[in-house]
Amino acid sequence: MLWHIEQDYPCWVRKDVCEIIAGDYVPAGFLGERMVFPAPWTPEPRELPANVTPWDSCDTHCAGFKTLEDGTPDPRRPDGWHLDDGRGELCKYGSGYNVMLQQAVLEGYNPIYLLGADLGYVGRDGLESPDPDHFHPEYNTRWADRARARMDNETQIDMHQHAKAWCDERNIQVLNATLGGELEVYPRVDFEELFQ
């Protein structure tokens, strides 16, 4: 990101990171006091570069699902991407992958290649059970039971369908270069062929 900022590329950066760069960061509980890091790490307040746009998460859809455990629609589910609403908010519906996709669009990438978008969450019976959903057993101390894993899969697919619809309307190509996986919303491309 810093290289992109230095090269004067348009960059969308999370609001709290922009506040740290500008020297305006106020952590929760500090009641307006500027964040002070040990010397020499406290920057003097400064303007953000003109090519940096801060974004914030939209709270409306954060932690939403396509449907709740009882099968009813989740009221936090958005109707689609809302990048055009002028609020400067990126939607975290589904996962951080949604934010990364929106950020890539706003920064002008086209085509956009997805890597590691494998889906297929299985869930587990408890923290003592092996974790089939992560590459290391200590990666995530939160565990999802099988019903929650199903909800996560459905929500992820729904989120990617929102992204595809929005991008298709604007002729932005999103391609899935993930090896394997269960995400079939976007056209697949061969990972190895991208580097030949």
Dump pLDDT digits (tens) for 50-78: 998 888 888 788 778 999 889 899 999 99
Q: What is the pLDDT of residue 61?
A: 83
Q: What is the pLDDT of residue 45?
A: 67
Q: State the Cα–Cα distance between residues 176 and 116, nearest whole angstrom.
A: 9
Q: What is the pLDDT of residue 168?
A: 98
Q: Which strand (E) or helix (H) includes residue 153?
A: helix 146-169
Instruction: Identify the segments of the chain with pLDDT beneath 50.
Output: none
In the block, residue with structure tokens 């199903």: 150
Beta bridge partners of 12: 53
Q: What is the pLDDT of residue 6?
A: 86
